[in-house]
Structure 1
Amino acid sequence: MLVSNLLVASRCLALVGLLSGAACCGKAEKPKAISAAEVGNPVKESDLTTVTITPEAEKRLGIKTVAIKTDNVRATREVGGEIQAVPGQAITIVAPVQGTLRGGAGITAGQRVRQGQTLYQLVPLPAERDLLTLDQGMAQSRTQLQVAQARLRRAEELLADRAGSVRARDDARADVALAQRALADARARQGALNGNTGGGQALPIKAPLSGVVQRVTVAPGSLVTANTVLVELAALNKVWVRVPLFVGDLRRLSKQAVTVRPLNGGASRQGQPVEAPLLGATAGTGTADVFYEIDNADEAFRPGERVAVDVALGNAAPGATNGATGAPTSTAALTVPAAALLYDATGGQWVYVRTAPRQYTRQRVEVQRAVGDQIVISRGVKAGAEVVTDGAAELFGTEFGGSH
């Protein structure tokens, strides 16, 4: 009886152990996570950007490389500016007397003129008090001519009958000539008043300087009074750039040349600071205007044109006032030539780095800013790496099948 009880107890213990073991195994197993999407054969970006070319292709593409270097780049800020004519070099031409304009049909805004070029011919009119007597003067001159002609005929008849003298005939001829001249002048004045300037003596209106026509206010053939504005000229051999700067930056503004760049990507030029008062302060925007002068002998810049200006900033000098005197500051940064930078269809910025002979790897970079013809790189490449300048675009086309 005792033996049978022990067998039953041992079987129960074994069963409890099996059940507890099964329970423990069930708790250890976790269901496998199911991913919402799976990517087959994932490839890193760097594995897709290496181009290996033959020596012949390298020569044909004209590939050249430069080493990335660390330069001391001065602290600059890119701001917008506006081209203006230099004060005193913009001239308004006015009519010296009242009269009728002749010529000037080809004078239009934007046209270049040279110093001494005749812009208009001005036929003067009589004074205003004489305009009321033009008709009366015309009739009087006509009558005087008729009387002088009658006297001449009478003197010639008397001389033919030997009853007159040669002197009397000559005097009569002189009177006729004077009367004819007076009548011609009266007709010219009357014609000028009516717009017919063919017979009048005209005054030339010439350009006092070489420049560009800014504005035309009259039309050929117009009647103008004295001091009427005819045209406005601006000399463009030198121009100013008006730069509105945040007033907080004025104390850091360096008294050095700035770089002026057209917005269409043309060649940049240096602008020299102008010792001019700070004008045009705007309380609403917290800005004040600073001016720079640039050479413009080829008239590449026009008044009113918008440009980009790279202004050098420095540390504020102790006790500096508006128009500050701080020296420019500079920081060490990685730079590459602008020709090495490429853009993809989404605006991504890339360079090609030579990783082995005739092997070039496209690497993504982050551009901080441009300084002249150099690009400051904040991340993506290391100093000493060789980047492609000449032939970078051709490599880009070769990689994506656009070049063969």
Structure 2
Amino acid sequence: MSFPKFASTLLVASRYLVLTALLGSAAACGKAEKPKAVSPAEVENPVKESDLTTVTITADAEKRLGIKTVAVKTDNVQATREVGGEIQAVPGQAVAIVAPVQGTLRGGAGLTAGQRVRQGQTLYQLVPLPAERDLLTLNQGTAQARTQLQVAQARLQRADALLADRAGSVRARDDARADVALAQRGLADARARQGAANGNTGGGQALPIKAPLSGVVQRVNVAPGSVVTANTVLLELAALNKVWVRVPLFVGDLRRLGKNQAVTVRPLNGGAARQARPVEAPTIGGTAGTATADVFYEIDNNDEAFRPGERVAVDVPLGNAASGATNGATGAAASTPALTIPAAALLYDASGGQWVYVRTKPLQYTRLRVEVQRAVGDQIVISRGVKAGAEVVTDGAAELFGTEFGGSH
């Protein structure tokens, strides 16, 4: 082989080696692993919630706890609408007590909002005041009497001086003394009249202001001793043995509203619910732009559990619009199938979570989280969490809850 041919072969071989090295380097770069993502948090030994909520007890314990179960069933539940309502005093049973004339108030020091008063109880004593022009006349009369007294006293001083200098008579001195006495009496009378006009007399004539009905003081607008003009509102009084609840309803639901259908009123603080009857009051417009109309219901409130201005939740039963509910007495009730459980089966944890215990095996109970849709009487409508046919614990549910968390032994 000649040298030029050998050199050419060597050059081709070196180029092949360099190309192979470059391709190998590129392949190595392409196969490089990406850095592993770092999780911001890790949970060690995760456990499902259902694995923590199963309680197994003995037959004796089940008997001692008195556990009873009922099957979750699907019922046709009447359609209702939950809306907010506002408690109001019954028209005609809430009054504003006003001052009949201008005067000064006496008494009433113990009157406060929320205080109960009885019909005929004296709330204030009002000492009448004359008109402003009469007050001006009395002020002028007092000033005139004061001036007359000053003049009479000056005359008496001159009479005493003249008598001392033997230039006057005893009779003139006595007449001056009589004028001073008359001027003093006139000034005293003028001041008494002025004091009576200002309501400062100790036993002057006063008008009693009495409660027209038995009820609760809603608002006190004046303080004792105040000077008030005629028609000034002194306080507001409301009878609370019966109250109304104002319910703003969507106008589309008015045709589904039973004419004589009662509603359920529930306090927002979780107090006992009670029934409210519809009243013969006109349906009036609600807030502009909300497409609502106000309807009214009456509640027996002898225990004064509700106060005017209080916000409440109202469950309004609805009928079928096609049944002519607005023309008939109540209208046909609209109902929908829903899962229901007794109210005794529902439990609440410390954070407000809702639970039930379901019998999964003999002597074995599993706590399941449920979502409550609403209450219908003594039944609870469940939207999810349990299935139809499941046996939920009613009697003994609270005892199982205490057993699980160490509250009972």
Stretch moving more, 187-196 or 120-129? 187-196
* Cross-structure match for 1:146: none
Counterpart code for 1:82: E
Q: How does 1:301-320 map to 2 (within 5 A)?
A: 301-317=306-322
User: Could you list the runs of 5+ residues in structure 2 that have no partner in the other structure?
Assistant: 1-36, 149-184
CA contact (8 A) 2:78 2:334 kept: yes
CA offset digits 1:226-249 (Å, max 9, x no partner): 222111111111111111111121
Q: How does 1:263-342 map to 2 (within 5 A)?
A: 263-317=268-322, 326-342=331-347
Query: What TM-score does the superposition give when structure 2 sets the normalisation length?
Result: 0.70
SS at structure 1 position matched to 2:85: strand
Q: For residues 45 and 90 of structure 1, do their structure 2 counterparts lie closer, same or farther at Cα, with a shift above 3 Å needed?
A: closer
* Cross-structure match for 2:84: 80
The Cα shift of 1:43 comes to 7.2
Q: Give, in whole Å, the separation in 2 of the partners of 1:189 and 1:335.
A: 79
CA contact (8 A) 1:250 1:323 kept: no
Q: Give, in whole Å, the separation in 2 of the partners of 1:320 and 1:298.
A: 33
Q: For residues 188 and 328 of structure 1, do their structure 2 counterparts lie closer, same or farther at Cα, with a shift above 3 Å needed?
A: farther
* Cross-structure match for 2:218: 214
Counterpart code for 1:95: A
Counterpart code for 1:119: L
Q: For residues 106 and 356 of structure 1, do their structure 2 counterparts lie closer, same or farther at Cα, with a shift above 3 Å needed?
A: same
The Cα shift of 1:286 comes to 1.5
The Cα shift of 1:268 comes to 0.4
Q: For residues 58 and 120 of structure 1, do their structure 2 counterparts lie closer, same or farther at Cα, with a shift above 3 Å needed?
A: farther
Q: For residues 235 and 346 of structure 1, do their structure 2 counterparts lie closer, same or farther at Cα, with a shift above 3 Å needed?
A: closer
Q: How does 1:2-401 map to 2 (within 5 A)?
A: 46-54=50-58, 57-58=61-62, 61=65, 63-134=67-138, 189-255=193-259, 256-317=261-322, 326-344=331-349, 348-356=353-361, 358-383=363-388, 385-401=390-406
SS at structure 2 position matched to 1:282: coil
Q: For residues 202 and 81 of structure 1, do their structure 2 counterparts lie closer, same or farther at Cα, with a shift above 3 Å needed?
A: same
CA contact (8 A) 1:251 1:326 kept: no
Q: Give, in whole Å, the separation in 2 of the partners of 1:323 and 1:207.
A: 43
CA offset digits 1:164-219 (Å, max 9, x no partner): xxxxxxxxxxxxxxxx9x99986654324445242212221111011121222211
Q: Give, in whole Å, the separation in 2 of the partners of 1:220 and 1:345.
A: 49
Query: Pairwise CA RMSD of aligned residues?
Result: 3.7
User: Could you list the runs of 5+ residues in structure 1 that have no partner in the other structure?
Assistant: 1-35, 144-179
SS at structure 2 position matched to 1:209: coil
The Cα shift of 1:273 comes to 1.3
CA contact (8 A) 1:250 1:324 kept: no
Q: For residues 47 and 185 of structure 1, do their structure 2 counterparts lie closer, same or farther at Cα, with a shift above 3 Å needed?
A: same
CA contact (8 A) 1:102 1:197 kept: no
Stretch moving more, 213-222 or 261-270? 213-222
CA offset digits 1:339-382 (Å, max 9, x no partner): 32134577653211234554322234343322233211234445
Q: For residues 100 and 42 of structure 1, do their structure 2 counterparts lie closer, same or farther at Cα, with a shift above 3 Å needed?
A: closer
The Cα shift of 1:78 comes to 0.7
SS at structure 2 position matched to 1:126: coil
Q: Give, in whole Å, the separation in 2 of the partners of 1:338 and 1:186.
A: 78
Stretch moving more, 93-102 or 327-336? 327-336
SS at structure 2 position matched to 1:132: helix
Query: What TM-score does the superposition give when structure 1 sets the normalisation length?
Result: 0.70
Counterpart code for 2:263: V
Q: For residues 319 and 186 of structure 1, do their structure 2 counterparts lie closer, same or farther at Cα, with a shift above 3 Å needed?
A: farther
The Cα shift of 1:45 comes to 5.5
Q: Give, in whole Å, the separation in 1 of the partners of 2:232 and 2:369.
A: 63
CA offset digits 1:122-149 (Å, max 9, x no partner): 1122344432333566788xx9xxxxxx
SS at structure 2 position matched to 1:133: helix
SS at structure 1 position matched to 2:290: coil
Aligned length, in residue pairs? 331
Counterpart code for 1:249: D
Counterpart code for 2:206: A
Counterpart code for 1:92: A
* Cross-structure match for 1:148: none
* Cross-structure match for 1:154: none
Q: For residues 62 and 101 of structure 1, do their structure 2 counterparts lie closer, same or farther at Cα, with a shift above 3 Å needed?
A: farther
Stretch moving more, 77-86 or 350-359? 350-359
CA contact (8 A) 1:259 1:310 kept: yes
Counterpart code for 2:378: D
CA contact (8 A) 1:260 1:307 kept: yes
The Cα shift of 1:307 comes to 0.4
The Cα shift of 1:280 comes to 2.9
Q: Give, in whole Å, the separation in 2 of the partners of 1:194 and 1:41.
A: 86
Identity %: 88
Q: For residues 44 and 225 of structure 1, do their structure 2 counterparts lie closer, same or farther at Cα, with a shift above 3 Å needed?
A: closer
Counterpart code for 2:81: R
